[in-house]
Chains A and B, each alone.
Chain A
Amino acid sequence: MPRGVAILGVGSTVFGKHAERSLVDLAASAGAEAIADAGIDANRISHLFVGNFLGGILFGQELLAPLTANELGLRSVAAIRTEGACSSSAIGLNLAYSLIASGAIDFALVIGVEKMTGAPTEKYTAALGAATDVSVEGAAGLTFPAFWAMVLRRHMYEYGTRREQVAHVAVKNRRNGAKNDKAQFREPVIIEDVLQSRLISDPIRRLDCCPATDGAAAVLLGPAEAGDSRSVDLLASVQTTGRARFSDYPDVTTFSPTVEAANRAYRVAGITPDKISVVELHDCFTIAELVDTEDLGLLPKGRGGAGIADGLTDFGGKTVVNPSGGLLSKGHPVGATGCGQVYEVVRQLRGEHPNQVPGARLGLTHNGGGTQAVVCVNILRGR
């Protein structure tokens, strides 16, 4: 019988532009905040996981885990960097969960960090392309907006989903982000803004896409019995492997790694999707939120467009999705996003969020890297 795992502390920088700060500086400031939030002696931390994707490509800086350990004065930790594109830090969370649940270790600090805005756009666009199979689909000119554009067009064709229904995701998430002190974009938009923004990859437009972001977030985990009333129990943490090549999927309107991760997480936590009151999921593009909402079992397959347009994933609906503003509005510092989502759900379950979901008790995070090649789902419960 594995022992219970709890999130004892969290920390995060503001997501946005941090041109003057280094990766290590950002990582350490989120990490220090999580340690202070947990109120434990830092010498009890045995493992440090640092999730990062682009540091090597954009800044020539590897070895971020020991550098961050040095910066934080963590002298006796095993320092490990985890990489899985947009799921880089969620991998560390999953590893920390497994190690603590098994009894192998007691306390672990997981940090995610990324800097994207300092680099020239063409350089960072090319760098993100490293999260495709560059030998085949990258060679054909597949970009991430193009990947999700083809998912959107197929979803419209198969299910009658309408373009403006999908735009509701951007409107909802911008409205939520406007209330989040950690968010990059704080201005609401309306449907017409989305539908008239610049075409990026038809039918995906500028406001359907998440931005480039700098930032860091951190989560300190330990045994459930070491927590207090502000701790949040991590009931399940599941990581699955999808297809790193888009065309290896038999269907592109649903992603089996998300369905599988969610089903396993619900089973481990002993709950059903309708019990979840707050979700932070991987809305790198508006259509991604629609597909993920269906794949997580929050709305029926093919009905995501209508459900979102009817407000079922908004405040006052069925399950509040991305009250932080999500990747679309809060921002997407790739390696930091997994920890950033957990940071947001922990604030919700403590009842401390600036855009609070009333009475939130059970929360879920969903993080998808590359073409959903690395998917992590966590289920959290407040005390």
Chain B
Amino acid sequence: MSKVQGRRCAACERVALYWMTACPNCGSRNWLPVQLSGRGTVHSSTTVRVAPAERASETPYVLLLIKLDEGPLVVGRWSAISEPSLGSVVEIDRIQENVVWFAASAASLNANVPPPAEVEAKSHRIA
């Protein structure tokens, strides 16, 4: 299970993955750091078949909208070619250059896979 640093709004408890000055829910600028489980469920998904020129070689690719256990939605990538079903449990595999990659949850697969290395976001855009 990858652990990711997020932030929780001190005023309304909204949790965010990405850094921003004001809370998207209540506008407060008072944030507290919070450790996220890195786990979430598939809120929606799509397979992108037409993309801008610089990504044409990557198509088709799967995009996921994940609802993290702590509440925030995140748009991320899925390395497999087939989309997971809505509601299934996934976890953050890695964050590379601001792109969040998801993988099937080890727990949900009930497979004996070694836990991935702890994720440390390098970019200033991710808290």
Contacts and interface: CB of A to CB of B under 8 A. Distances in A.
A248 interface: yes
Interface string B45-60: 1111111111110100
Count chain B CB atoms within 10 A of each CB in A125, A146, A246 and give the residue with the most. Answer: A146
Given A140-B100, A141-B77, A247-B74, A200 B49 contact: yes
Contact of A246 (B75, B83, B100): B75
Interface in A89-114: none
A139 interface: yes
B44 A151 contact: yes
Interface in B60-100: 61, 63, 65, 72-77, 83, 86-87, 97-100
A199 B75 CA distance: 21
A123 B54 CA distance: 10
Given A125-B52, A250-B73, A154 B63 contact: no
B98 A135 contact: yes
B126 to A, nearest CB: 8
Contact of A126 (B48, B54, B98): B54
B122 interface: no
Interface residues of B, number: 35
A245 B18 CA distance: 10
A141 B53 contact: no
A149 interface: yes
B125 interface: yes
Given A139-B99, A154-B86, A245-B18, A199 B49 contact: yes
A252 B73 contact: yes
A129 B52 contact: yes
Given A135-B98, A247-B72, A149 B56 contact: no
A67 interface: no
B25 interface: yes
A254 interface: no
Interface of B: 18, 24-25, 43-56, 58, 61, 63, 65, 72-77, 83, 86-87, 97-100, 125
Interface of A: 122-123, 125-126, 129, 135-137, 139-143, 145-146, 149-151, 153-154, 157, 199-204, 243, 245-250, 252
24 contacts: A123-B53, A125-B53, A136-B75, A141-B55, A143-B51, A145-B48, A146-B48, A150-B43, A150-B63, A153-B44, A153-B45, A200-B49, A200-B50, A201-B46, A201-B49, A202-B49, A204-B46, A243-B24, A246-B73, A246-B75, A247-B72, A247-B74, A249-B73, A252-B44
